[in-house]
Chains A and B, each alone.
Chain A
Amino acid sequence: MEPLSEVKDFLRIEKFPHIWCAGCGHGIILQSFLRAVIDAGIDKNDMVVVSGIGCSSRAVGYVDFDTLHTAHGRALPFATGIKMAKPELNVAILAGDGDIAAIGGNHFIHAARRNIDLTVVIFNNFNYGMTGGQSSPLTCLNAIAPTTPYGNIERPFDICSLAIAAGATYVARSTTYHALQLPELIANGIRHHGFSVIEVLTGCPTYYGKFNSLRSPSKMLEWQRDHSVNLKQYQMLSEDAKEGKFAIGLIHSAERPEYTDEYSKIIQKVQVVSQKEPR
Chain B
Amino acid sequence: MSEIDKSSDPPKTSPKITIHEKWCKKCGICVAFCPKKVFDTDDFGLPLVNRPEQCIRCMLCVIRCPDFAVDVERAKEDPEKKVPPP
Contacts and interface: CB of A to CB of B under 8 A. Distances in A.
A273 interface: no
Contacts of A17: 22-23, 25, 67
Interface stretch (B3-11, B26-34, B47-55): B26-34
Interface SS, B side: loop
A22 B65 CA distance: 10
B67 A1 contact: no
The size bracket of the interface on B is: 20 to 34
B68 A11 contact: yes
A28 B23 contact: no
Contacts, number: 68
B74 interface: yes
Interface in A174-232: 176-177, 179-180, 205, 216-218, 221
A4 B17 CA distance: 12
A26 interface: yes
B68 A22 contact: no
Interface string B34-47: 00000000000000
A274 to B, nearest CB: 53
B24 to A, nearest CB: 8
Contact of A218 (B22, B33, B63): B33
A20 B25 CA distance: 9
Contact of B68 (A3, A4, A216): A4
B28 A28 contact: no
A28 B26 contact: no
B29 A18 contact: no
Contacts of B64: 28, 176-177, 179, 221
Interface in A1-32: 1, 3-5, 7-8, 11, 16-18, 20-28, 31-32
Contacts of B32: 218, 221
Interface of B: 22-23, 25-29, 32-33, 59-60, 62-68, 70-71, 74
Given A23-B29, A26-B66, A221-B32, 14 more contacts: A3-B74, A5-B71, A16-B68, A17-B67, A23-B27, A25-B66, A27-B66, A28-B64, A31-B63, A35-B63, A179-B60, A179-B64, A180-B63, A218-B28
